[in-house]
């Protein structure tokens, strides 16, 4: 399928990227900041991050088979899938595959530990545009991947009995339409998606009157299947599960507080490996996975700028409602063309006033929209103002316009101009580059453009499959849910 890499994705998250050239020539991302803002997920409870400093003092191994850089949902997801795949394949191996995760800061302290907590697969929005830009099969795969990822995560959560530990809420998601134009586009997407036989189970249109009566929001919208979680606790469970199930076919180690500062290629007479260089020494490694999302261009400078991965700062706050959950109910929400997203945290009693996690507000700092900002040690006052004003203006009487949030933080997303991530071998991005051979056994899954929760774990599964295929000298068979345009072999940056 021909994919034009110059396509401007119209998805909310990416639409401003090309309209907003960088104010200065872009430079590669820096390493994650040393003093990030305190997020609800990481810092509101002392036991939220039991793996925070895991392996930070342990000596690094001198050799490994797979080095995964980054301990967010992507990095941990690659380790999880690789171990599951190895166990299922029951390969006859001489030695277990040595997998090492290297994390610059505390465990899961990047976007995954600082996000809005939504695990909601897109149901149909943007279908018409995707169908026109690509083709029907490719457009359908955009949603199939998200349904696959979200339902796999929910299945894993339930099968392992983690639902209450990680605060899974399967409350559905309501998308509010603030303008006629937005509503018109959404109906067009829905009609085209239905004609193309996209799975639209659980989608229900809601009139302004229905939404006002039930929830107090004077807008029309639609309901779609959706969940929210405590993302850090979910990723912690995934890591612990992977660690417990490694053994016969793999070993898994985690080293936090270990920023990777370079990956260099080393060739000897009979082998070709990478030196993964950190502040605590180097690891000689056969394969490298870049699970660094917004920060990818630090180690892969050719991903700098609009054709690569653009660090983009998102802001979130935790604010208390003025009324009980009985008057707010439990769905998660988005509105204002996706610029705002929020949900009430679970409560013990329905009359309890819930804490609302609300993110967004980047429209308040147009035309830069916090693009090209890779520092999560600060919040933006204008974004904060937009977030404070949002809920009281949409739900009259349910939020106090003067109340201050209990916590407010930022995190860095990795945007691409297409709105879609890069998934696969790094070398494939560099077809015309004489250095491409050096990247042959380096992999990447990054650039989710926000909205990574229903995509990253599926993309990590693809990387796991590719590594297993390479190890077993077989061809990777692509699953029927991965969009072609995600794959690095269909994308070029140089
Ligand atoms: C404010 C905000 C709100 C969001 N809300 C939602 C939401 O509600 N729903 C949703 O689906 N998505 C949301 N997202 C997007 C989602 O969180 C991300 O797409 C997803 O978490 C990306 O996961 P990741 O593992 O690829 O990246 P990350 O979680 O960022 O992990 C990358 C890790 O790599 C580490 N790292 C970077 N460079 C190096 C290096 N050189 N050496 C070692 N380690 C390194 C970082 O410290 C980091 O821990 C939001 C993002 C933000 C920032």
255 in ligand 1 pocket by Cβ < 6 Å? no
Say what the pLDDT of residue 15 is. 45
C-alpha atoms less than 13 angstroms from C-alpha of 235 in its C-beta half-sphere = 36
Say what the pLDDT of residue 272 is. 78
Say what the pLDDT of residue 269 is. 67
**Which burial class, exposed, middle or buried, applies to 94 when counting CB atoms under 10 A from its CB (0-12, 13-18, 19+)?**
exposed
Residue nearest to atom 18 of ligand 1 (CA): 452
> 260 forms bridges with which residues in the sheet?
278
Say what the pLDDT of residue 409 is. 98
Low-confidence residues of the chain: pLDDT under 50? 1-16
Please state, in angstroms and rounded to a whole number, the distance separating the CA atoms of residues 397 and 363.
24
Say what the pLDDT of residue 18 is. 52
Measured in Å, residue 413 CA sits from the centre of ligand 1 at: 6
Residue 261's SS3 state is strand
Judge whether 178 and 188 are in contact, CB under 8 Å: no
Say what the pLDDT of residue 5 is. 30
> 67 forms bridges with which residues in the sheet?
100, 288
Please state, in angstroms and rounded to a whole number, the distance separating the CA atoms of residues 344 and 351.
13
Say what the pLDDT of residue 127 is. 97
DSSP secondary structure letters along 357-385: EEEE-GGGGTTTTTBT---TT---HHHHH
Judge whether 279 and 264 are in contact, CB under 8 Å: no
Token output for 201: 């189970």
Alpha helix stretches (DSSP H) within 120-207: 127-133, 136-159, 180-195
292 in ligand 1 pocket by Cβ < 6 Å? yes
362 in ligand 1 pocket by Cβ < 6 Å? no
Say what the pLDDT of residue 7 is. 32
105 in ligand 1 pocket by Cβ < 6 Å? yes
Say what the pLDDT of residue 321 is. 97
């Amino acid at each position: 399928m021909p994919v034009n890499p110059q396509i401007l994705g119209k998805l909310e998250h990416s639409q401003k990227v090309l309209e907003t050239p960088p104010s200065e020539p872009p430079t590669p991302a820096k390493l994650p900041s040393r003093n990030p803002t305190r997020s609800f997920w990481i810092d509101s409870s002392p036991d939220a991050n039991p793996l925070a400093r895991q392996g930070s003092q342990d000596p690094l191994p001198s050799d490994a088979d797979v080095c995964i850089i980054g301990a967010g949902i992507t990095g941990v997801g690659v380790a999880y899938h690789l171990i599951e795949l190895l166990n299922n394949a029951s390969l006859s191996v001489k030695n277990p595959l040595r997998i090492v995760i290297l994390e610059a800061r505390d465990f899961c302290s990047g976007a995954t530990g600082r996000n809005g907590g939504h695990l909601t697969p897109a149901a149909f929005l943007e279908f018409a545009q995707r169908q026109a830009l690509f083709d029907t099969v490719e457009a359908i795969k955009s949603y199939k991947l998200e349904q696959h990822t979200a339902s796999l995560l929910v299945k894993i959560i339930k099968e392992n009995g983690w639902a209450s530990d990680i605060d899974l809420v399967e409350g559905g998601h309501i998308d509010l339409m603030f303008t006629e134009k937005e509503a018109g586009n959404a109906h067009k997407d829905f009609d085209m998606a239905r004609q193309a036989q996209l799975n639209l189970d659980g989608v229900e249109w809601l009139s302004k009157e229905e939404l006002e009566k039930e929830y107090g929001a004077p807008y029309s919208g639609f309901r779609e299947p959706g969940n929210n979680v405590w993302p850090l606790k979910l990723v912690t469970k995934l890591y612990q599960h992977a660690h417990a199930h490694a053994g016969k076919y793999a070993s898994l180690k985690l080293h936090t507080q270990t920023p990777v500062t370079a990956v260099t290629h080393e060739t000897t007479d009979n082998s070709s490996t990478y030196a993964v260089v950190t502040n605590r020494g180097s690891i000689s490694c056969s394969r490298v996975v870049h699970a660094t999302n917004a920060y990818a261009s630090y180690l892969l400078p050719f991903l700098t700028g609009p054709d690569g991965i653009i660090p983009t700062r998102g802001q979130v706050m935790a604010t208390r409602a003025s009324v009980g959950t009985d008057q707010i109910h439990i769905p998660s929400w988005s509105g204002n063309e996706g610029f705002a997203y929020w949900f009430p945290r679970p409560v013990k009693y329905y009359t309890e006033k819930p804490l609302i996690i609300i993110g967004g507000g980047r429209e308040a700092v147009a035309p830069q929209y916090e693009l090209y900002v890779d520092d999560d040690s600060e919040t933006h006052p204008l974004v904060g103002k937009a977030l404070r004003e949002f809920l009281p203006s949409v739900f009259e009487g349910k939020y106090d316009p003067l109340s201050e949030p209990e916590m407010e933080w930022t995190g860095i997303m990795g945007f691409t101009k297409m709105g879609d991530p890069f998934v696969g071998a790094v070398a494939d991005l560099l077809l015309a580059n004489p250095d491409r051979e050096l990247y042959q056994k380096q992999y990447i899954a990054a650039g989710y453009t926000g909205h990574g929760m229903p995509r990253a774990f599926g993309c990590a599964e693809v990387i796991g499959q590719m590594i297993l295929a390479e190890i077993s000298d077989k061809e990777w068979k692509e699953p029927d849910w991965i969009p072609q345009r995600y794959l690095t072999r269909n994308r070029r940056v140089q």
